[in-house]
Amino acid sequence: MDILENRDQWEATFRAGWLAEYQAAGSFNWKIYNRAKNTLAPDGPAVDLSASRLLLISSAGGYLPASQEPFDAENALGDYRIRAFPGSTPLNTIAYAHDHYDHAAVDADPQVLMPLRHLEDLVAEGVIGELAPNVISFMGYQPDLTRVLDELIPAILDAARAEGARAALLVPS
C-alpha cells in the first residue's frame, strides 16, 4: 500500500494551491490546504509488547540544546529532519522547537508529550519488554507531504531499524 494515496494528485494540488499562494503572497491560506486522507490503514500482526523493544517517536520538536541544533521552527515550509537522544535523558534538559502548539503544558510537565519516565515504569512493571536506547524526535509542522514521504519517513525507518525496534509509539503534539 502507499503511505500517501494519490501522491501525484496531492502534490499537484499543493503546489498549484497552498504553496503557490504562499510563494506569491507570503501568507497562509489553510482553507485551500489539501489535508490528505487515506482510505486504507496499514496492517500488521499483533505485538507482544512484554517481549518487544519499543521505540518512542515524538513530533513535539524535542532536542537537546546542549548538543543539538534546534529544529527550524520558524520556517513556514517546515523542517523534515529528525533528532535522536537517549531515552534516559533528564526531562528538564530537553527543549522544544515547535511554534505550532502551546508549550504551557509541556513546560509545566514534560511527560504530557515526552513520557520517558512513564515508559521506564512500564518496563519495570513488565508491560514493555524494553525501550529502544534512543528517542526519535521531529518537529511536526510539515505542510509538504512529499518531503514527509521522501525525507522524514525514510529517516525514521532507518533509525527504527538501527534501534532494533519491534514496536513504536508516536506521541503527536
Partner 1 sequence: MPPRATFTRLGRGATLGRPGDAAQQRRVLDATLALLAQSAPVEPVQLAESME
Residue of the chain from 112, 149, 153, 155 that contacts partner 1 (CB under 8 A): 112
Residue 48 in contact with partner 1, rule: CB under 8 A:
yes
Q: Which residues have C-beta within 8 Å of that of residue 56, sequence separation ≥ 6?
A: 87, 114, 115, 116, 119, 131, 132, 135, 136, 168, 169, 171
Residue of the chain from 101, 146, 147, 155 that contacts partner 1 (CB under 8 A): 101
How many residues bind to partner 1 according to rule CB under 8 A? 37
Q: Which residues pair with 86 in a beta bridge?
A: 134
Binding to partner 1, residues 53-92 (CB under 8 A): 54
Residue 103 in contact with partner 1, rule: CB under 8 A:
yes
Report the alpha-carbon distance of residue 156 to residue 81 in Å, rounded: 9
Residue type, 62: G
Residue pair 47/167 in contact (Cβ under 8 Å)? The answer is: yes
Q: Show the cell assigned to 49.
A: 509488547
Residue 161 in contact with partner 1, rule: CB under 8 A:
no
Cβ proximity to partner 1: between 16 and 127 the closer is 127
Contact set with partner 1 (CB under 8 A): 38, 40-49, 52, 54, 101-106, 108-109, 111-113, 115, 118-119, 121-122, 127-128, 167, 169-173
